[in-house]
Amino acid sequence: MVNSAFLLLSLLPAVCIAQTVDIPLTRRAKTLTLQNHFAAADRARARYGFPTTKSSVAGRRLQRRASSQGFAIINEEADSSFLGTLSIGTPAQTFNVVLDTGSSDLWTITQECDDCSGIGNAFDTTKSSSFKQTSQQAIEIDYGSGAVQGFTATDTVTMGPFTVQDQTFLVAERLSDGIIDGDVSGLIGLAFQGLAETQAVPFWQALINNGDLSSPEMSFFLERSTSDNDEPGGVFTLGGTNSSLFSGSIEFHDLASTTGGPQYWMIPLSAVTVQGSSVSIAGGNSLLSAIDTGTTAMGGPSADVAAIWAAVPGSSALTQGNQQTGYFQYPCSTNVKVTLSFGGQAWAIDSNDINLGQVEEGSSMCAGAIFDLSLGASTDANTPSWVIGDTFLKNTYTVFRQSPQAVGFAALGSGGSDTSSSGGGSGSSSGGSNSPSSTGASASTTPGLASQLTSATKTFATPSIPAHSTVTTTDSVPAGPTSSGAGMVEVSMGLLLSTLISALAMAL
């Protein structure tokens, strides 16, 4: 009987374990040019329904086509792409995909793709026993600088230890040149279902609905590059936060109310300072800001962006070539200091992230990373007027929370506290105050240029078992073909003790 009890207790970790799997990735050693940044700005304008520099309707908001919403296709050579690895099919086929909080669909290229030679792994639908095509009619996503065309299907999708059966995604059969490049095979959207072109429940929301995540959160630490060599680019945590990457508490801001429910991770901007002084910005709908890991720089309404650059001595609008429209230049010797507030603390942006580099070789003028998003077009209550991309997000620890719906920011560092992860609380929440309470302190001190590519390491958090307390020990976790890392085992003390007592009783 004693041996039976010992055997039972030895099996407890298999029942009570929750793992956190770290999958380190490396960034591709490529450097952005100003032309890449200008093209990226046009992609951002197109994805949010604004005219581009190639449009003939400057000053008027474009009609939003249903077939063009929700995709942020990022050229790996041209944008700071933060990549994750997932697998599709039975047996599993592995792909690198862009992690994008500004869209909601999952798509990957297929071996039948006519325009996909020389890029990432292609999905072979014939080798998956769980693959099911769900539409015969082709879906085309047109977003300004190109298009993706394909059909919808369902299959088993796995990311780290998490699996969703019958996940709907787009199988891409045609791509415009340059939409993706290198080892990238597609994109996973991390925004809401209302934005999904495929009308599918996004992968991350399916995990929450299935009770697979320990907390209804996902978090980003985006690390700026410090060299031209391949190197880790940060941490993506799915199912919670990583307290070793931020300090203090997380300042949460409720999502803006929109007709029909949320689509973007959208919160109102409340204040901007430049060189230590406040800049007047428009109110109302013009404050709505999408927090978007799929956009490299940062854009806003025409008048507000002009006001920001007017506060920088010696700055002027770039006028050489139509593609430069909406960008500004300033003396390279100037350290541009900008802070943003969303109703609480004022978060500083490192001046290195503002500087996109010289406008031309040998010039004393540099291009700035804050661009005119709207090009004079109007705004509405359901779509953002600002897009807050990696220029800002590299300076904060950023949390996207499903319940209650909010975006949170914390200072970079270690030893932080997320009071919302266990009980769905609001943490250090801001309900929409329009005055910042403090300034600075959140900008990273790591040097580096925004014109260098980064990618993201991912942390996958498996569901934890509710308990009054937990014991945490380390354990090794097997790495995938392109990943490695360490795991963390959490054993529920309440369940462990109750099972121990029962086992001993039976043994005696």
Sheet of strand 486-492: strand arrangement: 428-430, 246-254, 406-412, 397-401, 217-222, 234-238, 457-461, 17-23, 486-492, 470-476
Q: What is the pLDDT of residue 34?
A: 79
Q: Is 100 a catalytic residue?
A: yes
Most confident of 88-92, 112-116, 135-139, 442-446: 88-92
Considering 100, 181, 254, 390, which one is annotated as catalytic?
A: 100
3-state secondary structure string across 206-230: HHHHCCCCCCCEEEEEECCCCCCCC
**Cα 115 from Cα 21, distance rounded (Å):** 35
Architecture of the domain spanning 64-209: Beta Barrel (2.40)
pLDDT tops 80 at residue 212: yes
Q: Which residue has the higher pLDDT, 415 or 70?
A: 415
**Cα 242 from Cα 257, distance rounded (Å):** 28
Q: What are the residues whose beta carbons fall under 8 Å from the beta carbon of 111, sequence distance 6 or more?
A: 122, 123, 124, 125
Domains 64-209 and 217-457 share a fold: yes
Domain spans in the chain, listed from the N-terminal domain onward: 2-17+464-507, 64-209, 217-457
Lowest-pLDDT range of 46-60, 126-140, 475-489? 475-489
Buried b / exposed e along 158-187 (16+ C-beta atoms within 10 A) = bbbbbbbeebbbbbbbbbeeebbbbebbbb
Residue 340: phi and psi, rounded to 5, are: -120, 140
* CA neighbor of 108 nearest in space, from 67, 73, 79, 78: 73
CA atoms within 13 A on the CB side of 41: 30
The CATH topology of domain 217-457 is Cathepsin D, subunit A; domain 1 (2.40.70)
Q: Is 372 a catalytic residue?
A: no
Q: What is the pLDDT of residue 448?
A: 28
Considering 105, 292, 304, 418, which one is annotated as catalytic?
A: 292
Helix boundaries (H) for 281-438: 302-310, 351-354, 390-393
| Average of per-residue pLDDT across 344-368 | 95
Q: What is the pLDDT of residue 167?
A: 98
